[in-house]
Amino acid sequence: MNPLPTSPSPTTFAPAPGSAPLARMVLAQARMEARLMLRNGEQLLLALVIPVIVLVGGVVAAGRLGSTLGGAAAVDVLTPGVLALAVMSTAFTSVAIATGFERRYGVIKLLGASPLPRHGLLLGKALALLIVVALQLVVLVVVGLLLGWEPTLTHPVRTVLGLVLAVGLGTAAFAALGLFVAGVLRAEATLALANLVYLLLMAGGGIVLPTSTYGAAGGLVEWLPSGALGEAMRGALVDGQIDARSLLVLAAWAGLGTVLTARTFKWE
């Protein structure tokens, strides 16, 4: 921080206005939002507890049944799917619910009269989201490894690049859709819809299980953002491939969500 030789004593109210540098404001906003997300019990349930249960439960069940998925060990297929699920839960459901209530409680309105510009607010939100997603992925990767997950490392560069692109584009697509929902519906309706969509996509959206296991419906499911994110993650971590088609589908959803949000979002 700059020294303030000319400013009055900090115990008086004499005016000394000014905004903090943009980077400091964005970091403060990101830290605040990430902290609030991690503190919220329900969001933590979506972000970590459910993915861990799905992963452990799926691996245990597959072990009992002695089944594999397309010739690969269940944990190797389920872990990328659960990583995708975690991205979806935070980027879509948590973002939608949090933003819906921020509108309701006048947070966005109050920030609108603060020095933090709107692009600063969006940057802060994006950064908070990436922080939380990164923490989720670290925890889930550890759980997966403990369960015996062996990611494919035949083409490490492709795997890492595919993973980064899948997480980045998946986060962008779901966050844009989450903001769209939060911007047009009331907070309660957003809460209900965001949870419902999460459950439906978790169960039948091609995110945890490969779209190839959906039979005839698989062709449709891969065009969903959930199916595309799941496939892109499995492409990177199971096959060591960059699944260009799925990444393009995610980019298209991100574009659509951004346009819809920009047209409809009301800050208050």
- CB closer to other proteins, 101 vs 265: 101
Candidate residues 57, 70, 106, 148; the one interacting with other proteins per rule CB under 8 A = 106
The tokens for 103 are 């509108």
Min separation Cβ 190 and other proteins, Å: 14
Name the residue among 248, 169, 239 with its Cα closest to residue 210.
239
The DSSP code sequence of 55-118 is: HHHHHHHHHHHT--BTTB-HHHHHHHHHHHHHHHIIIIIIHHHHHHHHHHTTHHHHHHTSS--H
Half-sphere exposure for 68 (CA within 13 Å, toward CB)? 5
| DSSP H helices in 89-155 | 95-104, 107-112, 118-146
CA angle 130, 195, 52 (to 5 degrees): 60
Q: Does 24 bind other proteins (CB under 8 A)?
A: yes
User: Which residue's CB is nearer to other proteins, number 42 or number 150?
Assistant: 42
Q: Does 109 bind other proteins (CB under 8 A)?
A: yes
The rounded distance, in Å, linking the Cα atoms of 250 and 18 is: 40
Q: How far is the CB of 134 from other proteins (least distance, A)?
A: 21
Coil, strand or helix at 51: helix
**Number of residues that this document lists for the chain:** 268
Interface with other proteins includes 214 (CB under 8 A)? no
d(CA 56, CA 181): 31
5 binds other proteins (CB under 8 A): no
Q: How far is the CB of 19 from other proteins (least distance, A)?
A: 4
Q: Does 116 bind other proteins (CB under 8 A)?
A: yes
CB of 210 to other proteins, least distance (A): 37
- CB closer to other proteins, 112 vs 240: 112
Q: What is the DSSP letter of 169?
A: H
Q: Which stretch binds other proteins (CB under 8 A): 111-119, 137-145, 154-162, 256-264?
A: 111-119
Binding letters toward other proteins, positions 38-77, x by CB under 8 A: -xx-------------------------------------
Binding site for other proteins (CB under 8 A): 4, 7, 10-20, 24-25, 28-29, 32, 36, 39-40, 101-102, 105-107, 109-110, 112-117, 268
